[in-house]
Amino acid sequence: MSETHSEEPSHRQLTRDDVLKVARLARLTLDESEVEEFTGQLGQVLGYVGILDDADTEGVEPLAGASERTDVLREDEPGESLARDQALSGAPRHDDRFFLVPPVLDTSAE
């Protein structure tokens, strides 16, 4: 994927289907009023950020973080870690040994 493939998305109208698709990707159940609200509001924000098209970024390297430190290394030494009861202390459901989750293999999984 390269920049030349972008279809000027900043000028593209955000649709209700786009919002539903993104909500699925983000694992967010939205109610009807939120879908409607976000369709308008996110479209507005995406329209506004279109001004970035005016910035000449030819040959500019992306900047991911202000400090740009990379490869911060340290010795791999065992340290303290959370006790099991502490690690489980905030879990909505557990059996004192494990986090409990609904069945993973079900038909609603995508």
Partner 1 sequence: MTACREPASVLIERLSSGETTSLELTDACLAEIAAHDGSVGAFLHVAGDAARQAAESIDRRRAAGEPLGRLAGLPVAVKDVLVTRDQPTTCGSRMLEGWIPPYDAHTVEKLRDADAVLIGKTNMDEFAMGSTTENSAFGPTRTPWRLDCVAGGSSGGSAAAVSAGFAPLAVGSDTGGSIRQPAAFCGVVGLKPTYGRVSRYGLVAYASSLDQVGPFARDVAGAAMLLEVLAGHDRRDGTSIDQPVPPYHQQLDQPLEGLRIGICSEHFGEGLDQEVREAVERALDVYRGLGAVVVEIELPHARFAVACYYLVAPSEASSNLARYDGIHYGRRADDYDGLVEMYSNSRGSAFGTEVKRRIMLGTYSLSAGYYDAYYLKAQKVRRLIQQDYTQAFLDVDVIASPVTPTPAVRLGQLTDDPLQMYLADTYTISANLAGLPGVSIPAGFSQDGRPIGLQLLADSFAEDRLLRVAAMHERETDWHLATPTLDGDTSS
Give me the phi and psi of 99, to 5 degrees please.
Answer: -70, 135
CA distance 108 to 29: 14
Contact residue for partner 1 among 74, 78, 96, 97 (CB under 8 A) = 74
| Min separation Cβ 101 and partner 1, Å | 6
| Min separation Cβ 57 and partner 1, Å | 4
Query: Nearest 10 degrees: CA dihedral of 28, 34, 40, 44?
Result: -50
Indicate the residue type of 82.
Answer: L
Name 99's bridge partners: 94
Q: Establish if 76 lies at the interface with partner 1 (CB under 8 A).
A: no
Contact residue for partner 1 among 72, 95, 96, 97 (CB under 8 A) = 72
Residues that bind partner 1 (CB under 8 A): 1-3, 5-10, 18-19, 22-31, 34, 37-38, 41-42, 44-46, 48-55, 57, 60-67, 69, 72, 74, 82, 86-87, 89-93, 99, 101-104, 106-110
